[in-house]
Structure 1
């Protein structure tokens, strides 16, 4: 379990974006809308040296072709806000959503640490500023109508000045109205399952086990005893309290050993092969999911073009 934990955690952004926003596994709670990370075009072909150095492994995996890109996700979110604003106007309330900040994804961590600078600054912790998003400041009335029962803990019919309010508020209604014709839970679940299962299956491949051993031997030469790159994440000292010099040194050795052994590229190549096999077995469902994604994005852009 320890070995699988890091990859399932660090690949979370891809898994979140593989499903529709309303069904997102890792939605950010407390903000008016969700925040995407990374790009998800069809990047299953050969990677350039520049991409490999950047460590953008998660979003170059074959399954990433069945998620939304940042731009697509932003269009969907903006369209939902337009619909929510129209709903709010029916209650004589205005909704001015905050302009989304440019995405600042942190270093890719699907296979553990991959960035030397991040390791030297934060050890095994994520950059605390990489995914920070300030919650929108909403007045009580706006919050009640926008978010519905979840905002006030209501149990019965929610009303505002004599008008019934949707249980999930104007924003929830907007998400439902935009997405109802494009929901495909079976396809979304298939894509998410491939993303998680391929990670586990790849670790069983001989080439990955071999490179793990090389990485472990490299770490031992630096004075650290680990059998897999996920083990350091399980250290309580590397999860709690301030980042220590020991944690930073361990993290830097970790990244250096990954580079010298080629672990990241070997693991990525192995998982890509696993995913291609899995995708071929579910080609019909994934093609349908991809088509519905495109249709939803087109619908969102149409809403935006109409203001």
Structure 2
């Protein structure tokens, strides 16, 4: 869940509450269910972290292939309209679950507190030419030759079929559901309570890691000494109370539950994604 003011100054609590969506997904009957057992065979101490539902989405490497193909289609469309679009830097080192359980790296806590990394900050940019924008996304006053929605929409529609787009969205929704469910699981609330006690001993009063992460006092241009001190204590207390490993194990259990209930649908979706990746590779070879 992003900060309420839509800012990007603190590490974002990235997953939108899905209490209503859980019912629509037929995963929670809006009534109490037994907490799923943990799988002791899961390896959740490795980085990048891989969760069960990730197997039914495009891998980070596959996502990079799709992004490159989509960029090539976009550039071709823009060239047809008389514009030169940038190639874009290739995506590398993608970790889709980075900071899924909020801040956990003490080195980063010491340098940026809860603020995003410098690489993710949007620096000042020169405003694009209005004609370029109209061609790119169909806004403003696009010419007659501009496709509906601009070249961005054309590239997306040419490359990504509806089944693949729906499959990836479905996995994202289910991961949002599993994250929300984990928050109310007794095993997670238990380590949150232990974490809160640890923080109190260090002079910081927060009931959960989310409360520290989303403290409005930390929405400043640069991290303050208080924010740095809080973030460092946060990471140390997470480590002492085993928050991240417990939270990941619990969420993984809910994801396995989701997979068991939607296995056929997820398998069909994965086939659509595999076809998308193959088409993307073919586009990349042609250019």
TM exceeding 0.5: yes
Q: Alignment partner of 2:118: what SS?
A: coil
Compare relative contact order (CA 8 Å, sep 6+) and give the higher one, 1 or 2: 2
* Residue 286 (str. 1) matches residue 281 (str. 2): no
**Deviations along 1:14-68, whole A, 9 cap, x unmatched?**
xxxxxxxxxxxxxxxxxxxxxxxxxxxxxx963275x2xx5x44xx121222222
* Residue 46 (str. 1) matches residue 67 (str. 2): no
Q: What is the CA–CA distance in structure 2 between the aligned matches of 1:106 and 1:294, rounded to whole Å?
A: 18
**Deviations along 1:214-242, whole A, 9 cap, x unmatched?**
11121121122222111112322112343
**Deviations along 1:156-213, whole A, 9 cap, x unmatched?**
xx42xxx62212223321211111364453x444322221121121122222222112
Partner residue of 2:174 out of 187, 190, 194:
194
- Equivalent position of 2:283 in the other structure: 303
* Residue 111 (str. 1) matches residue 101 (str. 2): yes
Give the TM-score of the pair, scaled to structure 1. Answer: 0.72
Q: Does the 8 A contact of 2:163 with 2:272 survive in 1?
A: yes
Q: Which runs of 5+ in 1 are unaligned?
A: 3-7, 13-43
* Residue 70 (str. 1) matches residue 60 (str. 2): yes
- Equivalent position of 2:30 in the other structure: none
Q: What is the CA–CA distance in structure 2 between the aligned matches of 1:235 and 1:149, rounded to whole Å?
A: 38
Give the TM-score of the pair, scaled to structure 2. Answer: 0.76
Q: How many residues align?
A: 255
Backbone CA RMSD of aligned residues: 3.2
Q: Does the 8 A contact of 1:97 with 1:136 survive in 2?
A: no
**Deviations along 1:235-283, whole A, 9 cap, x unmatched?**
2211234311111111111100111111110111011001100121111
| Distance apart, 1:148 and its partner CA | 4.2
Q: Alignment partner of 2:58: what SS?
A: coil
- Equivalent position of 1:28 in the other structure: none
